């Protein structure tokens, strides 16, 4: 009896191992079927108009699909000299520029935006990135906004030297597909009607179609009926 119980336990453990192995393989397959998407962030806060050479690295956002949409952000601390430059821009009503670079198989995609440097300082360097991804997993748009945290000159809050970025990833979905079966069936009926010499677009009744033939026949019948009594009277 004890031997029989041990055999059953061994079989159950083997089956459980196979199930776990299958789940692990499925999760690993899902991970590699959905590669990572990296968004490289760079910014510009100089006094002049921005140029490609003037942008400096700020950080990155990595989006991956593993057990649901996940992402991680990595950003550098702002150097004291750069922080002073942003403060000067805020005092002179200047602008802060942000650029996002996405590398794809079809080429590089660049998204650019800007904000008032004063609003950036008032937010405590807290901003919001909204990344829009289509059903095929490609980034189609990136929007940029600033948070409202009340970091003003009249408060005792100290503006941190690091960006506090909130990321939202919006995944698009396919809309309802048109029902083409009735339309194709209608086209098939029209084709068969044309082969029979009929016009499938003519929805008139029988009388409306052939009245020009029916009316002369009716007149002839009436005339022939009216002439018959006269001949009998003779």
Share of the chain above pLDDT 70, in %: 69
Residue ranges of alpha helices (H) inside the chain are 2-33, 80-91, 117-122, 181-195, 206-233
Q: Which of 176, 112, 167, 110 is nearest to 139 (CA)?
A: 110
> Taking residues 100-118, what's their average pLDDT?
89
Q: Which of 120, 51, 135, 64 is nearest to 88 (CA)?
A: 120
Q: Which of 100, 103, 115 is nearest to 57 (CA)?
A: 100
List, for residues 155-213, the tens digit of each pLDDT value.
Answer: 556 778 889 999 998 877 666 777 777 778 878 877 887 777 666 566 677 677 777 77
Greater model confidence, 196 or 122: 122
Q: What integer pLDDT is reported at residue 7 of this predicted model?
A: 53
What lies within 8 Å, CB to CB, of 73 at 6+ separation is 59, 60, 61, 62, 165, 167
Q: What integer pLDDT is reported at residue 216 of this predicted model?
A: 80
Question: What's the chain's average pLDDT?
Answer: 75
Q: What integer pLDDT is reported at residue 160 of this predicted model?
A: 84
pLDDT at 50 exceeding the cut of 50: yes
pLDDT at 58 exceeding the cut of 90: yes
List, for residues 2-38, the tens digit of each pLDDT value.
Answer: 555 445 444 444 443 333 333 333 333 343 445 678 8
Q: What integer pLDDT is reported at residue 22 of this predicted model?
A: 39
DSSP character at residue 158: P
Phi then psi dihedrals of residue 80, to 5 deg: -60, -40
Q: How confident is the model at residue 99 (pLDDT cuts 50, 70, 90)?
A: very high
186: left (phi over 0), alpha (psi -120 to 50) or beta: alpha
Greater model confidence, 199 or 89: 89
Tell me the domain boundaries of the chain: 30-171, 181-225
- For the CA atoms of the chain, what is the radius of gyration? 38
- This prediction has a pTM of 0.58
List, for residues 126-154, the tens digit of each pLDDT value.
Answer: 999 999 988 877 889 999 999 876 666 55
Q: Which of 103, 72, 97, 73 is nearest to 85 (CA)?
A: 97
Greater model confidence, 146 or 233: 146
Dist. CA 115–CA 208, nearest whole Å: 70
Q: Which two tokens stand for residue 158?
A: 């100290």
- Specify the pairing of strand 107-116 against strand 37-44: unpaired
Q: Tokens 């050479």 identify what position? A: 53
| b (16+ CB within 10 A) / e for 138-165 | ebeebebebbeeebeeeeeeebeeebeb
Handedness of CA 214, 220, 226, 232 (dihedral sign): negative
> Taking residues 51-72, what's their average pLDDT?
79
List, for residues 157-172, the tens digit of each pLDDT value.
Answer: 677 888 999 999 887 7
């Amino acid at each position: 009896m004890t031997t029989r119980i041990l055999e059953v336990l061994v079989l159950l453990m083997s089956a459980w191992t196979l199930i776990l192995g299958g789940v692990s393989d499925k999760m690993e397959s899902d991970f590699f079927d959905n590669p990572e998407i990296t968004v490289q962030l760079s910014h510009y806060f100089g006094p002049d108009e921005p140029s490609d050479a003037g942008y400096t690295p700020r950080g990155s956002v990595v989006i991956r699909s593993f057990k649901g949409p996940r992402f991680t952000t990595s950003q550098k601390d702002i150097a004291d000299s750069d922080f002073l430059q942003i403060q000067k821009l805020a005092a002179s009503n200047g602008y802060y520029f942000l650029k996002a670079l996405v590398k794809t198989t079809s080429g590089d995609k660049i998204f650019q935006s800007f904000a008032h440097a004063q609003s950036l300082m008032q937010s405590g360097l807290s901003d919001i990135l909204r990344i829009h991804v289509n059903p095929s997993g490609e980034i189609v748009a990136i929007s940029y906004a600033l948070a409202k945290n009340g970091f003003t000159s009249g408060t005792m809050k100290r503006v941190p030297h690091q960006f506090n970025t909130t990321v939202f990833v919006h995944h698009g979905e396919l809309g309802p597909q048109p029902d083409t079966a009735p339309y194709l069936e209608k086209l098939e009926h029209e084709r068969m009607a044309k082969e029979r010499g009929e016009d499938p677009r003519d929805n008139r009744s029988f009388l409306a179609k052939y009245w020009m033939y029916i009316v002369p026949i009716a007149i002839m019948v009436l005339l022939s009926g009216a002439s018959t009594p006269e001949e009998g009277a003779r």
